[in-house]
Amino acid sequence: MRDNKNKWLLVTSAAVLALGTASLASANTLQNTIQRGAVQCGVSDGLPGFSAPDDQGEWQGLDVDVCRAVAAAVFGDADAVRYISLNAVERFTALQSGEVDVLSRNTTWTTTRDTTLGLNFTGVTFYDGIGFMINRDLGVSSALDLDGAAICVQSGTTTELNVADYFRANGMEFDPIVFDTSEQTVGGYEAGRCDVLTSDTSQLAALRIQLSDPDQSVILPEIISKEPLGPVVRQGDDQWFNIVKWSLFAMLNAEEMGITQENVDEMRNSDDPDIARLLGQDGNYGEGMGLDANWAYNIISQVGNYGESFERNVGMGSPLQIERGINALWTNGGIQYAPPIR
């Protein structure tokens, strides 16, 4: 009996110890990711062009390409990603709690999110703004005519806040109809529950092609807010922050230098010192992030440069048909600009 009791004591204390040591495990995201063998990436619950599973169940989109780029940089394998679909309400907690390592889910960069949620925005993948989609039959041509309209909006987004501001600033009223997911929001719009569907214009373009009759709806010309969308990581791990940030910069730099998925192997022999540094032919610029010299080469050869990803997923080569606009490189009149690799 006494022996038995001692044995139990031993087991209990061992269990407590084990739990204690578990809590001492490091907060090093890169190490954890390598151990796991996959980047855990938080994506949307299905938004064509940005992150949505295709017919085969494979995730595709601009946001998904960021996940793939990070995986290519870390593992040299763009497919080493575990996608976790999150709705707008869950997304930050999932990142805070460590369920995902990167949140790449058209998330707007704002002060509050950057400073009080324990998050860091790593850059901007898409410069967007809020717009309004409305039924053609209503004959409305400007957002300023929307006084009194019922507006469908997704819960927990900056849209919810910006629309309220816009209507107040212009002395107009509106009825907010708030849904949890973008599917339900579109459903509400289609059922006629609201006159207007509002969201980032890129999302509107994506949602519009899901409607049963896309031509019946028009997107109004006004863009009422700045919505820089980008990947997010947790605060407190600068190394991981750098990896995600520079994975995106590598894609931008590659486009600027004219390196594409196709010509990246030729480009490795290029004499251009910028290209040589990016592709790891001259020094190891991945070292500071704990990556090998080929990190950027892997990204470009497996995912492509920013321009390719844009065209493939949301641009003219996709059903969304969004113009590059301000998302063009700074050399082409846009504002996409990446610091140099040096």
Partner 1 sequence: MTVQHKMIEARPAPGNTVGPIAWLRINLFSGPVNTVFTLLGLYLLYVLLTPTIQWAFINADWVGTSRDDCSREGACWVFVNARLTQFIYGLYPRTELWRVNIVFATFAVLIAWLAIPRLPLKRWVALATLVAFPVFAFFLLYGGYFGLRVVETHRWGGLMLTLILAVVGMVAALPIGILLALGRRSQMPIVKSFCVVFIEFWRGVPLITILFMASVMLPLFLPTGVSVDRLVRALIGITLFQSAYMAEVIRGGLQAIPRGQEEAAAALGMGYWMRMGLIVLPQALKMMIPGIVNTFISLFKDTTLVMIIGLFDLLGIVQAALSDSRWLGFALEGYVFAAFMFWIFCFSMSRYSQYLERKLHTGHKR
Partner 2 sequence: MSVRPKAHTLGPKPPFWRDRAKRALLFQVLLIAAVAAFLLYIIGNTQDNLAARGITTGFGFLDRTAGFGIGQSLIEYSSQSTYGRTFVVGLLNTLLVSALGVIAATIIGFIVGIARLSPNWLIARLASGYIEIFRNIPLLLQIFFWYFAVLRAMPAARDSYSLGEVIFLNVRGLYLPEPLFESGFGLIPLTFVVAIVASIALVIWNKRRHEATGKRLPAGWISLALILGLPMLVLVATGVPVTWDVPELRGFNFRGGITIIPEFLALWLALSIYTASFIAEIVRSGIQAIPHGQTEAAQALSLPQKLVLRLVVVPQALRVIIPPLTSQYLNLIKNSSLATAIGYPDLVSVFAGTTLNQTGQAIEVISMTMAVYLIISLLVSMFMNWFNARVALVER
Residues at the site binding partner 2, with contacts judged by CB under 8 A: 1, 16, 19, 23, 27, 88-89, 92-93, 96-97, 112-113, 116-118, 138, 146-150, 155-156, 160-161, 163-165, 168, 174-180, 184, 188, 191-193, 195, 234-236
Least Å from the CB of residue 195 to partner 2:
5
Listed in sequence order, the residues at least 6 apart from 322 whose beta carbon sits closer than 8 Å to its beta carbon are 49, 202, 205, 314, 315
DSSP-derived 3-state class of residue 69: helix
Question: In Å, how far from its chain's centre is CA 78?
Answer: 16
The DSSP 8-state label assigned to residue 16 in this structure reads: H
116, interface contact from partner 1, partner 2, none, CB < 5-8 Å by kind:
partner 2
Residue of 38, 26, 35 lying closest to 67 (CA atoms): 38
| Cα within 13 Å of Cα(22), Cβ side | 6
Q: Rounded to an integer, what distance in angstroms lies between the CA atom of residue 177 and that of residue 188?
A: 8
Only segment of 16-24, 69-77, 239-247, 295-303 that touches partner 1 (CB under 8 A): 16-24
Contact 100, 84 (CB under 8 A): yes
Q: Does 190 bind partner 1 (CB under 8 A)?
A: yes
Q: Does 77 bind partner 1 (CB under 8 A)?
A: no
Positions in 81-110 near partner 1 (CB under 8 A): 82-87, 90, 93-94, 96-99
Q: Give the residue carrying structure tokens 């529950």.
A: 193
Q: Does 183 bind partner 1 (CB under 8 A)?
A: yes
111, interface contact from partner 1, partner 2, none, CB < 5-8 Å by kind:
none
176, interface contact from partner 2, partner 1, none, CB < 5-8 Å by kind:
partner 2
| Cα within 13 Å of Cα(206), Cβ side | 22
Only segment of 23-31, 135-143, 258-266, 269-277 that touches partner 1 (CB under 8 A): 23-31
